[in-house]
Chain A
Amino acid sequence: MNNNRFLGLAYLSPFIIGLLVFTAIPFVASFYLSFTKYSLMSPSKWVGLENYIDLFTNDRTFRKSLSVTLIYVFITVPLKLAFALFIAVILNYRLKMINFFRTAYYVPSILGGSIAIAVLWRYIFAHEGLVNMVLSAVGMEPVNWFGDPTNALFTITLLRCWQFGSAMVIFLAALQSVDKSLYEAARIDGAGPWHIFRYITLPLITPVIFFNLIMQTVQAFQEFNGPYIITQGGPLKSTYLLPLYIYEKAFKSFDMGYASAIAWVLFVIIMILTLIAFWSSKKWVYYAGDKRS
């Protein structure tokens, strides 16, 4: 450990400068902007709480967008995490071709939010698209994936669940670090696979479940590329997530103050949910802190 305080800070200087210029100051500025009317053409004008009052009393698009966002996050995050964990558990067994499967499952995630994948999704779920062709081949009715407001959001959810790879890799790493002797001890005591999973594996990987939960939630609240490319927020604003609304307010109609207010509402929601998660984690996250040094 080096105790030269100047040197340590010198190595950190890019981070400190970047933090100030691109995060801290913009963070404060965005809070200030949310209390102004600012359209780039004229100087910003302080309007107090007007933007926020407008949002919650007059703006029906905002309320629609907010509820769609919450529905999207509350469906996508648990579904994606459950799926990622399920696959990670299967992949944790000694199986042949395990590396092939791991790679295959990770490929969609590596392409992540790329526009090409959004384009692909658009064609796969189109009315005459791949999914409906497969459905009719097995004798099922084709589904109106994008035209129907109740299905459109779910189609975006499916896209994000398809990209469960990075959450899965993190789960897998955690599963592999679980002490094998615990499993043997439980098996000798006559525990079945479900009991072992429920009472040994699950508690031991709660820190990683917690980590994934937070990261995926923050990410899901910022979903943009999928709905922007695939459905353009429609039909009937059923996929008009808040980031789309913020983008259009800020960079289409240059209503910077109002857009900042929406961004702050989104931020406060994420913060409250994160704080709830952190607070509740004391009750369910198990840190094996004193087991190993």
Chain B
Amino acid sequence: MVATTEMNAAAPRELDDFQLRQQRQQKFNAVIRYTVLTLVGLIMLYPLVWLVGASFKTNSEIFASPGFWPSKPTLDGYIKGWETSTPYTFGRFFWNTFLIILPKTIGTAISCTAVAYGFARFDFPGKKILFATLIATLLLPNVVTRIPQYLLFRDIGWLDSFLPLWVPSALAGDAFFVFMLVQFLRAIPRDMEEAARVDGANTFQTLIFIVVPLLKPAIISVCLFQFMWTMNDFLGPLIYISSVDKYPISLALKLSIDTTEAFEWNRILAMSVLAITPALVVFFLAQKYFIEGISAGGVKG
């Protein structure tokens, strides 16, 4: 757009017929593109906007008009929804989610960084096979290993605790993140690491003082994705967590659909708004890391 304006200013009279036609064509194309983008954007965002609006509506109004704005805004849904039908408030479930996320994310970041460093910067027999296995686990459906994993955690007495959710991730269990970090590491030149080695740093010092700072954006991406995935995870807690006092938000929401009497929609919608708020806030604060992470993980390597 900027370029065309400059061109117009520079040589307004020299535009011949062909250029005029091309310009008109371009303008027409732009209009079509914006129309499509806006329409799709509306479809993408309006359900979420509606959700927020509906959470402030009275129950009778939720299914009465498709508009966003509540005619008689009420906090009823939030107040009653927060109380829940359990002895705990929704705050408890947020706290539990946090207790799951924090160790899981830290464990993921540390283990995946170390493993990616091993893959990207060392040579040893069997490396190719191990890397191929890493890729294979990306494709391996979780559904196959889930039942024996459950039996394993049952046998060591970890059921109804957060350990089954933490431990596999702390052992670089999310192959996607290792893969992503290896991709990033491959793109980072090794000069500084070599200089550090010449100066007498061992590989661990090189990892901590040179590689980790260089890899920081990628590690942040990993943490953010793990945060989102854990926030959204439902099946894991559903299988492993059985007492309500340990429920994360996802299970609490499911519980509220099951136990809330009919016609109390605004409570469920209000708690849904609260449930997605942390993820949305984190996403908007750090969107570039998400987009970069996805692109790096996706481009072939």
Measured in the bound complex, the distance between the Cα atoms of B125 and A186 in whole Å is 47
| Residue from B41, B141, B154, B298 in contact with A266 in the complex, judged by beta carbons closer than 8 Å | B141
B123-149: which have CB < 8 Å to A?
A: 123-125, 127, 130, 133-134, 137, 139-149
Q: A8-B122, A26-B148, A250-B147 are in contact. Are A169 and B171 (CB under 8 A)?
A: no
In chain A, residues 54-106, which have Cβ atoms closer than 8 Å to a Cβ of chain B?
Answer: 87, 90-91, 93-96, 101-106
Which A residues are CB-close (under 8 A) to B37?
A: 90-91, 95, 101
Which of A15, A21, A207, A228 is the most central at the interface, judged by chain B CB atoms within 10 Å of its CB?
A: A15
Q: Is A130 an interface residue (CB 8 A)?
A: yes
Contact B257 A22 (CB under 8 A): no
Bound CA–CA A223/B154 (angstroms)? 25
Q: Which residues of B contact A103 (CB under 8 A)?
A: 284, 287
**Could you tell me if A169 and B298 are in contact, using CB atoms closer than 8 angstroms?**
yes
B79 at the interface (CB under 8 A from A): no
* CA of A8 to CA of B1, assembled, Å: 52
Is the C-beta of A114 less than 8 angstroms from some C-beta in chain B? yes
Q: Is A3 an interface residue (CB 8 A)?
A: yes
User: Which residues of the partner chain A approach B291 to less than 8 Å between Cβ atoms?
Assistant: 102, 106, 169
Closest to A164 in B: B44
Shortest CB-to-CB span from A29 to chain B, Å, is: 4
Taking a contact as CB atoms closer than 8 A, the residue among A16, A30, A170 that contacts B144 in the complex is A30
Given contacts A30-B147, A104-B45, contact A116 B265 (CB under 8 A): no
Mask of B278-294 contacts with A, CB within 8 angstroms, 1/0? 01100110010011001
Q: Tell me the smallest distance from the CB of A139 to a CB of chain B, in Å.
A: 14
B298 lies within 8 A of A133 (CB): no
B41 x A115 contact (CB < 8 A):
no
The verdict on B62 contacting chain A, using a C-beta distance below 8 Å, is yes
Contact across chains for B143 and A246 when beta carbons are under 8 A apart: yes
- Is the CB of A11 closer than 8 A to any CB of chain B? yes
Inter-chain CA distance A113–B229, complex, in Å, is 9
Which among A7, A18, A122, A173 is the interface contact of B122 at CB below 8 angstroms? A7
Chain B, 36-54, CB within 8 A of any chain A CB: 36-37, 40-41, 43-45, 47-48, 50-51, 54
For the complex, give the distance between the alpha carbons of A120 and B62 in Å: 12
CB nearest to A38 among chain B residues: B151
Cα–Cα distance between A11 and B185 once the two chains are bound (Å): 15
> Which residues on B sit within 8 Å (CB–CB) of A114?
231-232, 234, 250, 275-276, 279
If A5-B124, A104-B41, A243-B143 touch, whether A115 touches B254 (CB-CB below 8 Å) is yes
Residues facing A in B42-77 (CB within 8 A) are 43-45, 47-48, 50-51, 54, 62-63, 65-66
- How many chain B residues have a CB neighbour from A under 8 Å? 92
Verify A173–B298 contact, CB threshold 8 A.
yes
- The chain A residue sitting closest to B50, CB to CB, is A130
Q: Is the CB of A133 within 8 A of B65?
A: yes
Whether A224 sits at the interface, judged by CB under 8 Å, is: yes
Shortest CB-to-CB span from B164 to chain A, Å, is: 10
A110 and B143 contacting across the interface, CB-CB below 8 Å: no
Which residues from chain A contact B50 at a C-beta distance below 8 Å?
A: 124, 130
Which residues of B (257-301) have their CB < 8 Å from a CB of A? 257, 265, 268-269, 271-273, 275-276, 279-280, 283-284, 287, 290-291, 294-295, 298-300
Asked if B178 is an interface residue, CB under 8 A from chain A, the answer is yes
CB B69 to nearest CB in A, in angstroms, measures: 14
Q: Judge whether B213 is part of the interface by a CB distance below 8 angstroms.
A: no
Chain B minimum-CB-distance residue to A98: B37
How many positions in chain A have a CB within 8 Å of any CB in the partner chain? 100
Q: Cβ of B168 < 8 Å from any Cβ of A?
A: yes
Q: Give the contact stretch, choosing among B10-18, B82-90, B98-106, B110-118.
A: B110-118
A270 within 8 A of B: yes
Do B143 and A266 have beta carbons less than 8 Å apart?
A: yes
Report the separation of the CA atoms of residues A270 and B44 in the bound assembly, to the nearest whole angstrom: 30
Q: Which residue of A lies closest to B272 (CB)?
A: A116
Task: Please indicate the chain A residues that have their CB under 8 angstroms from the CB of B229 in the complex.
Answer: 112
Check B63–A15 contact: CB distance below 8 A. Answer: no
Interface string of A213-241 (1 = CB under 8 A from B): 01000100110110011000000000000
- Asked if A14 lies at the interface with its beta carbon under 8 angstroms from chain B, I say yes
Query: In whole angstroms, how far apart are the Cα atoms of A195 and B7 in the complex?
Result: 28
Given the interface pairs A15-B115, A18-B173, the reply to whether A174 lies near B299 with Cβ below 8 Å is: yes
25 pairs, A vs B, C-beta closer than 8 Å: A3-B124, A5-B124, A5-B125, A11-B207, A15-B115, A15-B171, A18-B171, A21-B171, A26-B144, A30-B148, A33-B147, A87-B40, A95-B37, A105-B40, A107-B48, A111-B279, A116-B275, A123-B265, A129-B63, A172-B295, A211-B298, A221-B143, A251-B238, A251-B239, A260-B147
Query: Which B residues are within 8 Å of any A CB, using their own CB?
Result: 1, 30, 33-34, 36-37, 40-41, 43-45, 47-48, 50-51, 54, 62-63, 65-66, 111, 114-115, 117-119, 121-125, 127, 130, 133-134, 137, 139-152, 154, 168, 170-173, 178, 203, 207, 228-229, 231-232, 234-235, 238-239, 249-250, 253-254, 257, 265, 268-269, 271-273, 275-276, 279-280, 283-284, 287, 290-291, 294-295, 298-300
